[in-house]
Structures are given as structure tokens and as C-alpha cells.
Amino acid sequence: MHTIKLVVLAVVVLLGARHGAADMPSAAGMDEHTASMLRQHHSMLTTQAEWDKAKKAVKAGSTADAISPVMKMDFLAKDLDRFMLHKHPEKRPDFLKKAAAYKKLLNEFKRDGEIGDAIAIKKLIPGIDKACKGCHDAFR
């Protein structure tokens, strides 16, 4: 009885080790999948940090300080089109549409920021929040 348990345990451990090895990036370079995962993870985390900065600036009444974070977001948004979709890869056209709508809002934000239209900027914030959420609900 004891021996059987040990054998089962050994097989489980061995299978686990093999599976782990298969998932490891090769020493020569990460596989395509791991690299794009890291890139999109980093891109989105930076987007989050910049968006927090932008909203904080607007809240504090310094619209001008919100422009530079949104410019960074806009730069990062260029990468969205190359995102590897894990959830609904078959719905890429919808994803691209959402990405385009998001980028349009960022451009409006930049334009209104440059002319110092604080009221327009404030109105855009919930729309951009919704664009993040709308895409995440479907694809994250």
C-alpha cells in the first residue's frame, strides 16, 4: 500500500518536472509567447501608472501636467494592435476596434489638454475609464 503511494507520487513529480521544463524559456532567448506576455504585461502596468498620474493631475487642477502621462499612454497604445489575445483570439477585429476607440479618446485628451480645456478633459476621463474596462471585460 505504502509502495503504491510512493510510486504514484514519483510519477506525479516526474510529470510535473517535465511539464515545467517544457514551459521554460530557452536559454538562447525567450520564446515568442513569453516575450509578448511580458511586453503586454509591462505595457499595461505602465499604462495604469500613467493614467493614475493623469487623473491625479486633473483632480489637483493642473491639466497641463496630465498631458505628458497621456502622451506616454498613447505611445504604449500603439502596441495594442500586436497584443496576443488569450481570451477570444477569434475576436481580433473587435479588439482592434476597441483599441482604435481608446486611442481616439487619448488623442482628444491630448488636444484638449494642449489648448487648456479643463472642462473637456474632465468629461473625457469617464470615457477613457470605460474604454479600459470595456476592453478588459471582453479580452482580459
Nearer to ligand HEC, 118 or 132 (CB): 132
Nearer to ligand HEC, 61 or 126 (CB): 126
Question: What is the distance, to the nearest Å, from the Cα of residue 134 to the centroid of all Cα atoms in its chain?
Answer: 13
Q: Smallest distance, Å, CB 19 to ligand HEC? A: 21
Nearer to ligand HEC, 63 or 95 (CB): 95
Q: Smallest distance, Å, CB 15 to ligand HEC? A: 27
Chain residues that interact with ligand HEC, rule: CB under 6 A: 37, 40-41, 44-45, 47-48, 51, 80, 83, 86, 95, 98-99, 102, 128, 131-132, 135-136, 139-140
Q: Smallest distance, Å, CB 116 to ligand HEC? A: 22
φ/ψ (deg, to 5) at 115: -90, 5
Nearer to ligand HEC, 41 or 78 (CB): 41
Q: Smallest distance, Å, CB 124 to ligand HEC? A: 11
Max distance between CA atoms of the chain, in angstroms, equals 79
Q: Smallest distance, Å, CB 85 to ligand HEC? A: 6
83-88 own/partner pairs: CB under 8 Å, 24+ apart = 83/36, 83/40, 84/33, 84/36, 84/37, 84/40, 85/139, 87/138, 87/139, 87/140, 88/138, 88/139
Q: Which amino acid is at 97?
A: K
**Calpha distance 93→95 (Å, rounded):** 5
Nearer to ligand HEC, 18 or 97 (CB): 97
